[in-house]
Structure 1
Amino acid sequence: MNEKKALVVFSGGQDSTTCMFHALENYEEVELVTFEYGQRHSLEIEIAKSIAEEHGLKHHVLDMSLLGQLSPNALTRHDMTIGQDGAARVPNTFVPARNMLFLSFAAALAYQIGAKTIITGVCETDFSGYPDCRDIFVKSMNITANLAMDRDFVIETPLMWLDKKETWALADRYGRLDYIREKTLTCYEGVIGDGCGECPSCRLRNEGLRAYLEERGTDA
């Protein structure tokens, strides 16, 4: 395995694009992998392709459409309203087993391309209650992947303990804040950049941005 090569799990959103820039700063070779799982907006795939092409990175798009058929959730069902069911422990945007499958397939791809490091933008600080974004889960998947393929992969999570304000600060440190703000797609309603401003993802992203710009002494 090439210790200087990283594979980034990439959606074209704020977090994964910040992770892409992190990888470009810290590794000699970087490739991206995007999963097509029937997500609410196919534009997400196009944005990911566009960013990859703009930066001259090899980009793998894997078909995982079966994932969207396994259970109803608001990220794959257009007839469901995005929100938090008061009786539910997690929001209805939670896709069961998504990160477990993503990391399994990312590890299989890393095995094929010889990448030692797999980078994912999951975060336990601002994670909306998704159980598969927790540090303990990622560590368990790292052990499982290593045992399953007899490799010594490292699953790296640069954003694990950062809130959204700190994630914007990291992007700014790499000189990429404006790029991420304007070119990425995080909005559940499919609006690029600052988004619709109303969905949970936009509120989290924009509140973090406002807090960071205020701390930096810059107007939003």
Structure 2
Amino acid sequence: MKKEKAVVVFSGGQDSTTCLFWAIKNFKEVATVTFDYGQRHSAEIECARKIAEELGVSFKVLDMTLINQLSANALTRDDIDVTAEDGELPSTFVPGRNHLFLSFAAVYADAIGCQHLITGVSQTDFSGYPDCRDTFIRSLNVTLNLAMNKQFIIHTPLMWLDKTEVWELSDTLGAFEFIQDKTLTCYNGIPSTGCGECPACKLRNDGLARYQDKKMAGVRA
């Protein structure tokens, strides 16, 4: 039986769109919340809007551009190169982003009478981001419930999946081609397979190639 209502933290990328399809399958009513935090390209927000409209779910944009007043990173500054050095946080890390996004998503969820929050974070392919770890999500879930005297449940359908398995999940949900063609993951704002060069594109496309190889091997068997 489907649960009542869920809010998906939504960017229009591969992971959050997979989570959106997962939410539509598991909940009677689904809302999305997207954050404008001064991304390098506004295409991400427009992509999210179009996907929400096509799938018939509500779409809400919250202004979080105040993040730009506090930190400098490659996702909000086009004069900072996208880098990922071994042993260091990638330059694309936005300090406190998931903490803030989920906190505001909880406030929005409470306003529309919803206790279920869904986010596409993954500890398997988390690029070194500390706020994508399972321990953080569990801790924040407790904190939100204490802070707001509610019983929120944060769902993380992708937490233990690598990108190959995320593609497999999208296929299982009947959303493989939709996600392949209509999502935007690229740090340079190019939809679908993207620029092919940035870390986000490489992670996405390598996972896609592995999944396609896996499918072909299954067909041959």
Q: Is TM-score (shorter-chain normalized) higher than 0.5?
A: yes
Distance, in Å, in 2 between the alignment partners of 1:197 and 1:142 is 35
Q: Residue 68 of structure 1: CA displacement?
A: 2.2
Distance, in Å, in 1 between the alignment partners of 2:179 and 2:56 is 17
Determine the structure 1 residue equivalent to 2:60: 60
SS in 1 for 2:18: helix
Q: Any unmatched runs of 5+ in structure 2?
A: none
Determine the structure 1 residue equivalent to 2:92: 93
Moved over 6 A (4+): none
Distance, in Å, in 1 between the alignment partners of 2:174 and 2:56 is 18
Determine the structure 1 residue equivalent to 2:27: 27
TM-score, normalised to structure 1, is 0.96
1:151-162 correspondence runs (5 A): 151-162=150-161
Distance, in Å, in 1 between the alignment partners of 2:130 and 2:84 is 15
- Number of matched pairs: 216
Q: Residue 85 of structure 1: CA displacement?
A: 4.3
Determine the structure 1 residue equivalent to 2:133: 134
Please say which of residues 159-168 and 51-60 is displaced more in the overlay.
51-60
The one-letter amino acid of 2:119's match is: T
CA contact (8 A) 1:39 1:68 kept: no
1:67-78 correspondence runs (5 A): 67-78=67-78
Q: Any unmatched runs of 5+ in structure 1?
A: none
Determine the structure 2 residue equivalent to 1:83: 83
SS in 2 for 1:28: strand
The one-letter amino acid of 2:156's match is: T
RMSD, matched Cα: 1.3
Distance, in Å, in 2 between the alignment partners of 1:165 and 1:68 is 33
Determine the structure 1 residue equivalent to 2:211: 212
Q: Residue 69 of structure 1: CA displacement?
A: 2.3
Residue 48 (str. 1) matches residue 14 (str. 2): no
The one-letter amino acid of 1:75's match is: L
